[in-house]
A and B are shown apart, each in its own frame.
Chain A
Amino acid sequence: MTGFVLRRVLAAVPIGLIVTLGVFALVFAMPGDPLRELAGDKPIPAAVLAAKRAQFHLDDPFIVQYLLSMKDILTGNFGTTFAGADIAAQLQLRIPVTLKLATMGLVIQWIAGLLFGLYAGFKRNGVVDRVLLLATLFILAVPLLVVYFAAQYVFGVELKWLPVSGIAHGYPLSYLLPAVCIGLTGFAGLARLTRTSIVETANADFVKTARAKGLGEQRILWGHVLPNALLPMVTYMGVEVGGIFAGALLAESIFNLPGLGQFMFQAIKLKEGGVVVLLSTLAFVMFIAINLLVDIVYGAIDPRVRNV
């Protein structure tokens, strides 16, 4: 087990280096001078410019800049953004926002997706099943942007039930609407997948055996069908958690929540290579950790794929 985790972490290191190097190269290649753009129309004294350039190592060769930002990330010495904000303080403010949004969205989609998917799959072709298939097809088909804007307009602007944007109303009120949007779109996928997985398992021979020997329907579902149908569901949930950062980016920019996604977006716009690499590293580490977790959960629920 420890060996497996260690191997996976070691294998992730080169991929992480390539990913961050690639991202840094792309930010480096963006046209324009970030400091001049930050100054806008105002003339900026040459001495200030030179001092700033030296502070952010902007005159060093590409690879030196990359190594310096990697060193900053590894030593936990994040420094400041071009505009002068302390990056560590920013992270402290922003990580909770994204975490709250993400957990709320994920909890909503897991509860709804698993419940409806299980029920629909086990009572195949029933009313719930048919309604679920149609409704989820619809949810998956409507573009995310439309879902977000429609929800914001109806519940925020027209009905005034929930705040339109920002986090002035605090947790959980301000997070409810974007989290429900994230949850709803993820729910559709999870429910469909759960249903398919349950339906496929429910036709297996061991389920017929269980039924033939007179087990109750509840015991068949929870004891025989569900454990065998879990693998694809766990995979999908892992992919969802890994991708929540990108989903949060859109939700945060539409609902104006000061989270990590928004930070990333601003950093890309301002060509702050250091911040972009820092956040990409964060996203990458999360991705690797979640994938590892998914593989360990695999082993726990299915001895056939247990990794030693």
Chain B
Amino acid sequence: MSETQQVFGAEAQDLTARTLSNTELLRALLRKPQFVVCVLLVFAFFLMAAVPRIFTSVDPRYCELGKSQHGREPGHPFGFDIQGCDYFANVIYGARPSVLVSVVASLGGFAIAAILGLLAGYFPGFVDNLISRTADVLFSLPGLIALIVVLNSVPNRSIWIIVGVILLTSWPLGMRLMRSTVFSVRNREFVLAARSIGVPPLRILRKHVFPNAMAPLLATTTLGVGGLVGLEAILTFLGVGLQPPSISWGSQFGVAASFRNTPHLFIWPALFISTMTISFMIIGDSIRDALDPKLLK
């Protein structure tokens, strides 16, 4: 997850020159067919997460053991899983945790990284030291290991706990990015002007610094959404994510891993999860390209 963000983050660093207005940005994005297609796909996944009933009328928890691991048949396009439940319905219902984790953790991560990055970048000294040293501590333990340790010490893991723990361990990367862009903005003329006429610091941060320093963080956050989908699956597969009876793509992988003779159990969730992450990735890539000052004429 974080690797991807770092790569693209590094590619997105030079964004301080001039930022597009929102309508310009939207127009530039809508000109790209791949962006439009991916937005539609993501919208479909959101719909799947919100109201799975419009995609399938079958109850994912209604199972006939006699049909365990059967292939496809009319009315059941993806076949049946180990317990003989309809797999299509299960895969559709599995979208919810992935969408929830990725979207909530991205939004929350953006907010936390932005706020802490603003504070650390704008108030050097004690505040900066406190935030940056905390980040150092979190940074120095491999992310996945921290997640596993923390999640193991929580007895009842709901989706919100998983989101919370991801937020807790993942903010340092975005915070550092935000901090460095705030550094480059904090002494620009308009900030100095605002300070000289006595605008309170919080208002300066909100009205002047944040809008001019958020672009790189926004780009890396959108690029990271796809990675979070995969992270939820990894955690659930390792047994520290969602617990049964919740339906999720990660737990479907876990089951599929021990039943190698029925590849359809693996292929369908893999196809869905890959489509979703690729869509998020292309959306993020398009936004970053659109924000790239080198493309502005």
Residues of A whose CB lies within 8 Å of any CB of B are: 15-16, 18-19, 22-23, 26-27, 29-31, 137-138, 140-146, 149-150, 153, 157, 164, 185-186, 189, 192-193, 196-197, 232, 236, 239-240, 242-243, 245-246, 249-250, 253-254, 264-265, 268-269, 271, 276, 280, 283-284, 287-288
User: Given A19-B141, A26-B150 in contact, is the A143-B11 Cβ separation under 8 Å?
Assistant: no
Q: Is the CB of B140 within 8 A of A196?
A: no
Complex: A203 Cα to B145 Cα, angstroms: 41
User: Given A143-B229, A144-B230, A157-B260 in contact, is the A23-B274 Cβ separation under 8 Å?
Assistant: no
Which of B2, B152, B233 is A143 in contact with, Cβ under 8 Å?
A: B233
CB-CB contacts below 8 Å: B103-141 with A:
133, 136-137, 140-141
Q: Is the CB of B10 within 8 A of A265?
A: no
By beta carbon, the residue of chain A nearest B263 is: A153
CB-CB contacts below 8 Å: B182-236 with A:
226, 229-230, 233-234
Q: Is the CB of A246 within 8 A of B142?
A: yes
Residues of A within 8 A of B143 (CB): 243, 246
User: Given A145-B233, A189-B7, A246-B145 in contact, is the A27-B153 Cβ separation under 8 Å?
Assistant: yes
CB-CB contacts below 8 Å: B249-297 with A:
250, 253, 256-257, 260, 263, 266, 270, 273-274, 277-278, 280-282, 285
Q: Is the CB of A26 within 8 A of B257?
A: no
A-B contact pairs, 10 of them (CB 8 A): A23-B146, A26-B150, A29-B153, A30-B152, A31-B155, A150-B270, A185-B3, A246-B142, A249-B142, A280-B141
Q: Is the CB of B6 within 8 A of A189?
A: yes
Q: Is the CB of B149 within 8 A of A268?
A: yes
Task: Sort A-B residue pairs by CB-CB distance and give the 10 closest, nearest first.
Answer: A143-B230, A246-B142, A246-B144, A141-B281, A141-B278, A189-B7, A30-B153, A146-B270, A29-B153, A196-B11
Q: Is the CB of B3 within 8 A of A265?
A: no
Q: Is the CB of B277 within 8 A of A142?
A: yes
Count of B interface residues, CB-CB < 8 Å: 48
Which of A30, A141, A288 is B140 in contact with, Cβ under 8 Å?
A: A288
Residues of A within 8 A of B278 (CB): 137-138, 141-142
B1-33 contact mask (Cβ, 8 Å, vs A): 1 or 0: 011101110110000000000000000000000
Which of A29, A232, A246 is B10 in contact with, Cβ under 8 Å?
A: A232
Complex: A27 Cα to B154 Cα, angstroms: 10
Complex: A185 Cα to B1 Cα, angstroms: 11
User: Given A149-B257, A245-B145 in contact, is the A239-B274 Cβ separation under 8 Å?
Assistant: no
Q: Is the CB of B229 within 8 A of A18?
A: no
Residues of B within 8 A of A140 (CB): 4, 7, 281
Q: Is the CB of B142 within 8 A of A245?
A: yes
**Chain A nearest CB, measured from B266 CB (Å):** 6
Q: Is the CB of A236 within 8 A of B274?
A: no
**Chain A nearest CB, measured from B192 CB (Å):** 28
Residues of B whose CB lies within 8 Å of any CB of A are: 2-4, 6-8, 10-11, 133, 136-137, 140-146, 148-150, 152-153, 155, 226, 229-230, 233-234, 237-239, 250, 253, 256-257, 260, 263, 266, 270, 273-274, 277-278, 280-282, 285
User: Given A142-B278, A150-B270, A243-B142 in contact, is the A192-B149 Cβ separation under 8 Å?
Assistant: no
Chain B facing A: main interface SS: helix
**Chain A nearest CB, measured from B150 CB (Å):** 6
Residues of B within 8 A of A239 (CB): 3, 6
| 20 extra interface residue pairs, beta carbon distance < 8 Å, beyond A19-B141, A249-B142, A265-B148 | A15-B137, A23-B141, A23-B146, A26-B153, A31-B153, A138-B278, A143-B274, A143-B277, A149-B256, A150-B270, A153-B260, A164-B260, A186-B3, A189-B3, A193-B7, A243-B142, A243-B143, A246-B142, A249-B148, A276-B149
Residues of B within 8 A of A196 (CB): 10-11
Which of A23, A192, A245, A284 is B7 in contact with, Cβ under 8 Å?
A: A192
Residues of B within 8 A of A254 (CB): 257
Residues of A within 8 A of B6 (CB): 189, 236, 239
Complex: A88 Cα to B137 Cα, angstroms: 27
Complex: A265 Cα to B270 Cα, angstroms: 24
Residues of A within 8 A of B270 (CB): 146, 149-150
